[in-house]
């Protein structure tokens, strides 16, 4: 009888504790339930980039975190990772496809491995300035390209900015097509970039970025091409004498989210993360442009000679690479290339 009484007591105690526990869960839901969509459960976004914490890209990611956590009342938490802590752009994009990571903001170049049409942004001298790039990317054709990512289990929420790539070298000032002649220029391992530099008269040499400083120091290559922020932060001014605003490639970032994660959000949450990606992107673009102005001045203060490319000289460069672009149109997708050029033309009217 004592055993039976003891057993009944234990059952009663468990029932009371369970009831208390349910009361706590209900009281913690409240407004949080409508924000999270599933009784107050917190969702976590792992968001990674390849660049370091000083770059405007990471500051944009922090802005995204701030907006999302505030708008969802903490129902969605954003953990940010910089400097390739979660891998390079390609491996992080693959992690999104697998559902093991939620956000990455890669350049468009590695995205071409998933959606070939993104190679359109590798076309030299595509955008005349940042404002036209903004209008095209945020417009119909840019959004159409983002839509193609869904077939790869990815959701493109917004375009951010890596920026224009510019030329440095240790041999001479580059102000015209003729000045490219024979220059050994390190480029990315990208066939379109390589063929374009050959058409300009240079001797392009693909190599790992980690090897670049030593290669320039030892004279293995004469120069390289990157945005001003990279040129300055990597201290290339120590081994390079000349910088020209060739602006030969404009490279966007794409704010990507795992489709499986995005589909698991409520409609309200989907709108919040979409709007946050766009707003944070505008913030990142502004910071990036301010940083490039600052770094160009600092490069000159460090002793680099700056050469402004005239409109006439840039047109000569455009004409020189035109046959290369024509050869690559079918690989990229002629319809996509034509749409982008038409959008650029319209944006300049």
User: What CATH number corresponds to the domain at position 115?
Assistant: 3.40.190.170
Average pLDDT of span 318-346: 95
* 143 domain-assigned: yes
Number of domains in the chain: 1
In sequence order, what are the residues at sequence separation of 6 or more whose Cβ sits closer than 8 angstroms to the Cβ of residue 211?
Answer: none
Q: Which residues of 154-170 are buried (b: 16+ CB within 10 A; e: fewer)?
A: bbbbbbbbbbbbbbbbb
Q: Is the pLDDT of residue 215 over 60?
A: yes
Dihedral of CA atoms 261, 265, 267, 272 in degrees, nearest 10, equals -80
pLDDT band at 32 (very low <50, low <70, confident <90, very high): very low
The two structure tokens encoding residue 158: 């917004």
Pick the residue with more confidence: 258 or 6? 258
In a domain, 344, yes or no: yes
Mean pLDDT score of the chain: 89
Residue 326 lies in a domain: yes
22 occurs within a structural domain: no
Tens digits of residue pLDDT in 230-271? 899 889 999 999 999 999 999 999 999 999 999 999 999 999
Residue 306 vs residue 4, higher pLDDT: 306
Q: For the segment 122-170, what is each residue's pLDDT rounded down to a tens digit?
A: 999 999 999 999 999 999 999 999 999 999 999 999 999 999 999 999 9
Domain membership flag for residue 306: yes
Q: Indicate whether 296 pLDDT > 50.
A: yes
pTM, to two decimals:
0.81
**Res 15 pLDDT > 60:** no
Question: Would residue 322 count as lying in a domain?
Answer: yes
The verdict on residue 11 lying in a domain is: no
For residue 208, what pLDDT is reported? 79
Instruction: Quote the domain boundaries for residue 325.
Output: 43-348
pLDDT at 2 over 70: no
Question: Domain for residue 235, yes or no?
Answer: yes
| pLDDT, average across residues 306-316 | 96
Burial of 332 (0-12, 13-18, 19+ CB in 10 A): buried
Say what the pLDDT of residue 109 is.
84
């Amino acid at each position: 009888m004592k055993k039976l009484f003891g057993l009944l007591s234990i059952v009663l105690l468990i029932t009371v504790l369970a009831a208390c526990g349910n009361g706590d869960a209900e009281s913690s839901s409240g407004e949080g339930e409508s924000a999270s969509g599933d009784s107050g459960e917190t969702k976590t976004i792992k968001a990674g980039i390849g660049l370091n914490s000083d770059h405007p890209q990471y500051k944009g990611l922090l802005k995204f975190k701030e907006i999302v956590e505030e708008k969802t009342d903490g129902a969605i938490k954003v953990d940010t990772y910089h400097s390739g802590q979660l891998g390079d752009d390609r491996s992080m994009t693959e992690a999104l496809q697998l559902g093991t990571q939620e956000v990455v903001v890669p350049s468009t170049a590695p995205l071409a491995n998933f959606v070939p049409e993104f190679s359109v942004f590798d076309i030299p001298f595509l955008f005349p300035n940042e404002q036209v790039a903004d209008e095209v990317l945020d417009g119909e054709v840019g959004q159409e390209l983002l839509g193609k990512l869904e077939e790869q289990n990815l959701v493109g929420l917004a375009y951010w900015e890596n920026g224009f790539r510019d030329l440095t070298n240790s041999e001479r000032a580059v102000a015209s097509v003729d000045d490219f002649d024979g220059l050994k220029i390190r480029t990315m391992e990208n066939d379109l970039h390589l063929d374009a530099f050959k058409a300009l008269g240079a001797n392009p040499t693909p190599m790992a970025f980690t090897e670049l400083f030593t290669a320039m120091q030892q004279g293995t290559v004469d120069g390289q091409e990157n945005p001003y922020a990279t040129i300055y932060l990597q201290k290339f001014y120590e081994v390079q004498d000349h910088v020209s605003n060739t602006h030969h490639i404009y490279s966007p970032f794409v704010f990507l989210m795992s489709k499986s994660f995005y589909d698991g959000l409520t409609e309200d949450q989907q709108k919040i993360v979409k709007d946050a990606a766009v707003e944070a992107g505008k913030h990142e673009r502004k910071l990036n442009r301010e940083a490039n102005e600052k770094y160009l001045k600092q490069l000159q203060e460090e002793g680099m000679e700056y050469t402004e490319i005239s409109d006439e000289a840039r047109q000569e460069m455009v004409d020189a690479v035109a046959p290369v672009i024509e050869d690559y149109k079918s690989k990229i997708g002629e319809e996509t290339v034509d749409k982008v050029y038409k959008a650029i033309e319209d944006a300049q009217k």
